[in-house]
Chains A and B, each alone.
Chain A
Amino acid sequence: MTTPILAMKNVVKYYGDAPILNGISFALFRGETKIIIGASGSGKSTILKLIMGLDRPDEGQIFVEGEDISKFNERRLVSVRQKIGMVFQESALFDSLTVRENVAYRLYELGVDENEIEGKVRQSLGFVGLEDAIDKMPSELSGGMKRRVALARALIDEPEIMLYDEPTAGLDPVTSKKINELIITLRDIKSVTGVFVTHRMRDAFTLATEYATNGDGQTTFHTEDNFICIANTRFLMLHNGKIIFEGPDEVLRRSKDEYIKRFLA
């Protein structure tokens, strides 16, 4: 049987006396995307921080490529983090560094050659359509541009897994669509495994119903229909620290659960 690239087993996490996550278990296979939905404060971002090793579970295990990282020390986590890219909720760009330095940050840390860094930075910024902003400071960028730079920064080392912490929060529909299309491209063209956290159902369903194809070097986007159904993207819904739903969008929409119905309304 194939080993999941990412898995959580009975994870419990407390903030104060109350558990924010209470027995969370799920698995994610290579090339799949998991959309985690739930109300604010339901522990969605905590799951991403636990996967990245930025926080530790109080109970349970977290597996990345079959390795239990829950007991890893900070130094061992560095090698795990090199396989994972993360886009933070508010971009989290280093405000004292230029866009170029932000995007190249991981490569500088790895001691990569300066010429190679320049090429990779331009390629990564080109992917998000922001090559012109290379010399700007984060303060000169709009919210949407910041998210795209954060995406370029996370992608610089071509990670196998991408974590997106509400990457479209607070953005207008046009910019959100652009970010969603970049994430779909990564999933469908580059086969990057992803965990997408959001409470915006419109973005979640866009990801679950749209797909990208690449013909003649041109990426085009389509919506699933009666003939094509996206099978690599599934929902996971959190409520009171537990998973109350796991499955595809079609089943989620038909759910009889009162809380889910209210959430989707």
Chain B
Amino acid sequence: MGKRKLVVIGNGMAGARAVEEVLARGGADMFDITMFGDERYGNYNRILLSNVLNGSQDPAEIVMNPLDWYAENGITLHSGAPVTDIDRAAKTVRSSAGVHVHYDYLLIATGSRAFIPPVEGMTGPDGKLRNGVFAFRTLDDCDGIIAHAKKSTQAAVIGGGLLGLEAARGLINHGCAVHVIHIGNHLMEQQLDGPAGAMLRASMEAMGVTVHLKKATTAVTHDGEKITGLAFKDGTTLDCDMVVVSAGIRPNAEIGLRAGLTVERAIVVDDKMRSVDDSTVYVVGECAQHRGRVYGLVAPLWDQAKVFAENITGRNRDAAYHGSKLATKLKVMGVEVAAMGITEPVEERDEVVQFTEPKRGTYKKLIVRDGRLVGGILMGDISKAAYLMQAFDRDTPLPEERLSLLFDIGAPAEKVTLDEMPDEAQVCNCNGVTKGAIGACVAGGMKSALAVMKATRGGMGCGSCKGLINELVEFYAGGEVEEDPSIHYYVPGVPLPTDELIDAIKINGLKSVSSVFKVLAGGKEDPGSKPGLAVLLSMIWKSEYEDERDAKFINDRMHGNIQKDGTFSVIPEMPGGVCTPDELKRIADVAVKYNVPLVKLTGGQRIDLVGVPRDDLPGVWRDLGMPAGHAWGKSYRTCKSCIGTDYCRFGLGDSMALATKIENRFRGIDSPGKLKLATAGCPRNCSEAYVKDIGAVAIGDGKWEIYIGGAAGAHIRKGDLLCVVGSHDEALSVMGRFIQYYRETAKWKERTYAYVERVGMAKLKSIVVDDSDGIGARLDRSLQESIDAYVDPWLERDAPATSHQFSSLIPVP
């Protein structure tokens, strides 16, 4: 089959980025790509327009994809002529220049345009902006403003939001007096509260910008040729000879409307960034409306472009966009600002932590809800921004000591701070580049900040993190600390994190551990990585998995736990710690018959026959006549239970029955780490369900609390409450979904207590309980397939998997 035709309408940051993401996934071999752009240029970084305006950067410097780039990548670019029509029935688009192109897939990335308020005199008789009135959105706008500013004496900027202030800042450099006209009560209401806005205003006025608040512009006055001033609702006027309008943006969604797509504030898309009306039409960027939200910042766009590319290239058809939490770091008039979430407390329980030092222009305010950050403003000193933005984005619990949220008390040298910064800390928020990614780049041989920025795209968004990236590159390249990138991998021997490894295994159809090493690790077998790969492959392929026994740790070849003398322990299944008298007798008979040296109760409420030589294993298993208890591997292990409702006078729920159902369902399911479970019939927690990988605690009325991430081994941790369910079946269902998500996303040997902290409960709840990613049904199905593929390994007593599997010593004649 030939290549499919991908047509992209829009050649701005969204369109070009989306195409880059497609190319990065081998899209050049899958698609003929045609792009249409309204502007005459290749793609440039619109965020940096303010630098062009203030003269600190040339237009050429902000170009991200020069015209050569399109040619090099085989992309047909039609620039300077917007698409005017989409014919969805014929699957064609037509541009104003008459170009007519067929598509198989269409991407709409038309972005947004400046909003021009309907003010008298703003536009001329031709409906275009009057001479001397400018929007601030494109390179052409920028050129016009610069040319006009040179002969201007007094300029007015309508709009005191971020862009308006940047325009004002740029205009100052061109020598005219600058006034900012703002309709609101304080500057930058989207990001700042009143006090911060007031401090910003003071900084701006110190630089010579006059700020007018609560002013609604009613007319642009002119003499027919030139602008003469502005008139306001309160009757006052202002003389000026040029006007820059920065009163917000409006999505360019009309093209969608004309094509018959659902358009509300923008073109409505699903979680795959497809139009809800047409599965061959994708929409990303500012012209897309996702779950009721339209974004005007760049960070959400990067995520959307990725989701689009994953889906359209088939790399991951489950990829979904869930919306973005907005946090921004910016520099206004030389004042550094970081802002995230809400700007004022909303609920009674919201706690405000605040520090103000007006003399130095420092302002810090955080809004904390239930121990989590829901809003924050940092101004002047934004040294804590990286940490706080991460806490905000991931919804991680904050330290009890709120002071440390605002200040690094007694923090010594900067090096220490870099050192202590976690690898997953986001350095570049625009492009989602972590400290770890920068480290990996340097470790991979890139020693210059520029090379690292090119490779990771870090610093290529708003550029505010370039300084930090420079420091980090220096830190990695020059310092003694060298990061081992393998900490991000599923197993150290294959350089891919879990999700990418799963994708690579599926794409390449790798069904055995040896083939994974051959294809994904350059043929180098790492013995320590083999068991982890075996578990992952069996999870992915189920009964199709090619079981190479040498990939497994000896416990998983012998189906028992190896002891210090090379013998094994035999633990039969015993759901909830319950067995029949008959089974108990059989266990005793076996212990006698085979001279088992030790019979021991385990911590998991089972009976352990310890010290069985491998030669006796088949006979022991046969004589026991009980299924394997899986007490040896990285898998579902056991489910403890208290006595529940049958006899206990406190019992609220039937914990023994639930434990039995759990064991019967999840027996032998392998996973990145051990899974030890427990059910408790009441919150007295006799079975210690609070400190299990998964625990269920009855709370009455048939309800069960489900806890995950508990531990009481070398590491002790109380589990986090995942949800409350109303029946045994629901408990099994939510546990199963969590187990499957853990199987698919944890690193090898990452126990749930570490995993839960790394991934975060908010995310786990939304995926497992709310099914926010829409992958719940798939997870359930995949786990069910693993359950269906389960075979009791002790049946190998009659059919050994390998030659001399159970021989401790082979005689030679």
A and B co-occur in one complex:
no
Residues of B within 8 A of A (CB): none
